[in-house]
Amino acid sequence: MYLRFTSRTNADGSVVRYVALAHNRRVAGKIKPDVLMNLGRVDQVDVEGMRRLAASI
pLDDT tens-digit readout, 4-27: 999 999 999 999 999 999 999 999
| Domain carrying residue 28 | 2-56
Is the pTM higher than 0.75? The answer reads: yes
Residue 32 has pLDDT above 90, yes or no: yes
Query: Residue 51 pLDDT more than 90?
Result: no
Q: What is the mean pLDDT of the chain?
A: 92
Q: With 90 as the cut, is the pLDDT of residue 28 above it? A: yes
Spacing of C-alpha 34 from chain mean position:
10
Nearest-5° angle of CA 46, CA 50, CA 53?
Answer: 145
Ordered alpha helix ranges (H), the chain: 47-56
- How many domains are there within the chain? 1
